[in-house]
Chain A
């Protein structure tokens, strides 16, 4: 089965949810989320809670991504403030893990995941920025990927356009 078939299967069995943008914009870069993350991002949230201020911003950033907006991206640690960053890969197996970064309100939120195919992001972990152990997150993310797609590999490349085909600028 192709990775597309696998994603469809995982959506149908409830292991993944296709993130739905609020306004009906084009789905240039579909995002698939594990259900608890989709629930977290779309609400409802406890009234006057931190997440009631934080998650709408995550949602807005994901909609920008899905709608095909310009994305500043980086491989590795620098520059540190880009929207989309591939984790540093001291060990080769970390190379496929990306984070979509929502930076406000502080400390910000990080959605970790993989590109299942060009322009197709699968988010498996969502964490507040403070106190993240990136090596541990990379390992956990890989474990979740293998759980979702045993036998399939995400995109791993040194060419940014293998991940995002258009409207991306790789900053160094």
Chain B
């Protein structure tokens, strides 16, 4: 027996098909990466705008600078407390929003190196939406009915009030 990730439309529309370990691993990784992305992005923004440093975060949280570096390097050892602490040190708090997996958010930028390429050969495809490029910057699904996109539970950052 083999297993693979489901098509996007199954994640979006089918609430009865059992989810296997691969499905769960994939979405857990997406969520971890997304949360980390938000925090790292905020740190990068404040570093540019206000010269915020890892040393300052460490001082505020009373931890080693090396610990801040580890946290900013990877979400692999994060807990929800890590999220809260890092945001607090940047005078922010998390705002969590659960959104349905669905249609509507499509990428429309295509790097110049991929504009003239066909999708992967069929035997290399993952079973997900395939792409056709046009004019250098357009991206569309080969089958409009499969034009499905998800959003993981979204966490945005807001200033503390």
Which residues of chain A have a CB within 8 Å of any CB of chain B?
A: 4, 7-8, 11-12, 14, 17-20, 22-30, 35, 38-39, 42-48, 52-57, 59-61, 63-64, 67, 69-70, 72, 74, 79-83, 101-105, 116-117, 119-120, 167, 169, 171
Contacts and interface: CB of A to CB of B under 8 A. Distances in A.
B136 to A, nearest CB: 12
Interface of B: 1-5, 8, 20-23, 25-30, 32-34, 37, 40-41, 43-44, 47, 66, 69-70, 72-74, 76, 105-114, 116-121, 124-131, 139-141, 147-150
A51 to B, nearest CB: 9
Top 10 A-B pairs, shortest CB-CB distance: A26-B107, A56-B26, A60-B29, A42-B126, A43-B4, A44-B4, A26-B109, A44-B2, A47-B1, A57-B29
A24 to B, nearest CB: 5
Contacts of B118: 11-12
Contacts of A60: 26-27, 29-30, 33
B22 A52 contact: yes
Contacts of B41: 70, 167
Contacts of A22: 5, 8, 26, 126, 128-129
B76 A104 contact: yes
Given A35-B124, A48-B21, A56-B26, A81 B107 contact: no
Contacts of A28: 109, 111
A24 B37 contact: no
Contacts of B119: 18, 20
B113 A4 contact: yes
7 contacts: A14-B121, A27-B110, A42-B126, A43-B126, A79-B69, A103-B76, A167-B44
